[in-house]
Amino acid sequence: MSNDRVTSTPFTKGLGFFVLLGIALLIILGIFVSPADVNQGESVRIMYAHVPGAWLAYLAFVMTAVSSAAYLWKRTRSLTWDRIAGASAEVGVLFMGISLVTGSLWGRLTWGTYWTWDARLTTTAFLFVTYIGYLAVRGLGGTHQQRARRSAVLALLAVLEIPLVHFSVELWNTLHQEASVAGRGTDVEMNGLMLFTLFLGVVVFTLMYVWLVLHRQRSLMLEDMLEDSGLDSALSERRAEATQAGR
Amino acid sequence: MDDLGFIVASYVVTFASVALYARGVLHRSRKAARDVPRDKRPWL
Amino acid sequence: MSSAGQQRFTGTTVIGTARLIAAKDLRVELRSRVLLNQVLPFALIVMVMFAFALDSDAVLERVAPGLVWLAALFSALIMVSRSFAVETADGALDQLRSAGVPAMGIFIGKMMALMAQLVVLVTLLIIAAVVLYRAELSWAGSVLLVTTGLTATCGLAAVGTLYGGLAAGAKGRETLLPLLLLPVVAPVLIGATRATESAFGTRGVSTSQGWPWLGLLAVFAVLFSVSGAVAFGPLLDD
């Protein structure tokens, strides 16, 4: 009975219900109801999954940076901020990966190629790898405080790194000016229903982000507690052994 | 609709990965929760 | 009065520490000869292997600047690893910190030692490019190249020390460091390669076109030196 309520509360249950409803509505509107685009044709339907996913990934990374700063600032220092940063980065990496896949599928249909070296795409790939590294650093071990401090500094360094990478890739790219990718025309002319579907996607994905981060943050807390209690019991065992040996 | 495969694939990739991830999170927390007493969880 | 005196006091200790640490690192390097006997030969064999892979003098000449910096990055990864393996082997870093040695001094010292080694490495790689890949150097090009080399190695040394310190002492550091470091140094690879291209005159690029790329390298070096000096303390503390 209590098993069902490990990390969920009435709030997350309600939220989860709305998210599932929203996803169903998004699929119906995105694949069946909304019209094909004048330029892109049917392939525009990928947009309703891709754009909200990319939005969510960026949102997650901003949240990671903000909570890392909150951890490093002495007045708000709390491991909760660290866990929010970690949960958010994990969700961000997931959605960055997803939107890289959906983006290249979409690019194949509209530009005729899976990948182009423009600054936005390249920076996105760098973001993906950088936060995979961030997650690896979180898994390095040590005390919770050590992990929190290390990863918070790293998250803030990423904030420094990403604009630099974007800027330098942009410079690199303007030098090249290779033949622009041929395609069916990439402009999307949005009508009301298309805009609404896209907007719905962004809202649903944002709610999904909240649900995922809440649950992940709580499960991280459980794991931290488990580690602490494991340490505690190991320590008390050692102490018991020591006193036994002393006698 | 030549592009149907790509369109369906992108939706499937998106929601299947989220579902898998969510399942993994719930599974991990259930495993961890076995040894953490209920009154120690601030959200309950 | 007291605050000004105190500031001057910490200032000298930071610089003093930096000098001591840098001298210590370089002495360790001179005695163990790891740079001379292992890293430089590795960099050279990478340059030779590039020639096998690309298999054309024309292509090699065209991509020589990129290969120089790519080989430099790979070798730099080894150097950073080594720089902190020396430090954490006997818990030396922890002892330095608990003895109250300023973290900023440690950072600057290790960065300087790393930069000195990188300068040696890059010089060798450029000579290798001239000899193996037929890169050509004019006087104006040499001035640009020296400035590029110094600025780029300064940036590389700063990020290398910062991320090396971040991963120091953790298990699995050797595999983690490249993953953390390579994405960050992409701007250095781009900037230094373009600047070196115009120094070599590859693809008919003139020397004057290389100078703007130095701006990128300088911004990188300054940003990461400053943030490294600031962030190194919190990283090492527990």
Q: Within a domain: residue A11?
A: no
Q: Which residue of C has its CA nearest to A140?
A: C170
Question: Taking CA atoms, what residue in B is nearest to A208?
Answer: B18
Residue of C nearest to A159 (CA): C184
Residue A231 domain flag: no
Partner-chain contact A109 B21, CB within 8 Å: no
Find the range with the poorest average confidence among A150-164, A187-201, C19-33, C172-186.
A187-201
In a domain, A232, yes or no: no
When pLDDT is averaged across residues B9-16 and rounded to a whole number, the result is 93
Residue ranges making up the domain that contains A93 = 46-176+189-213
Q: Please state the pTM of the whole predicted model.
A: 0.87
Is residue A8 in a domain? no
Residue A111 lies in a domain: yes
pLDDT digits (tens, 9 = 90+) for C115-173: 999 999 999 999 999 998 888 888 888 899 999 999 999 999 999 999 998 877 677 77
Give me the number of domains chain C comprises: 1
Give A203-235 pLDDT, tens digit per residue: 999 999 999 999 999 999 988 888 888 776 766
The pLDDT assigned to A169 comes to 86
Q: What is the mean pLDDT of residues A149-165?
A: 90
Q: Tell me: the pLDDT tens digits for C187-206?
A: 999 999 999 988 888 877 77
Task: Pick B19 or C168 by higher pLDDT.
Answer: B19
Considering the domain boundaries, does residue A205 fall inside one? yes
ipTM summary value: 0.90
Q: Which domain holds residue C45?
A: 2-236
Q: Do B11 and A98 touch (CB under 8 A)?
A: no
**Count of structural domains within chain A:** 1
C183–A140 CB contact, under 8 Å? no
Determine the pLDDT at residue A180. 44
SS (HEC) of A85-146: HHHHHHHHHHHHHHHHHHHHHHHHHHCCCCCCCCHHHHHHHHHHHHHHHHHHHHCCCCCHHH
Tell me the shortest Cα–Cα distance from A119 to chain B, in angstroms: 23
B15 contacts in chain A (CB < 8 Å): 23
pLDDT for res A184: 46
Q: How many CB atoms lie within 10 A of CB C238?
A: 10
Query: Average pLDDT, stretch A187-216?
Result: 89
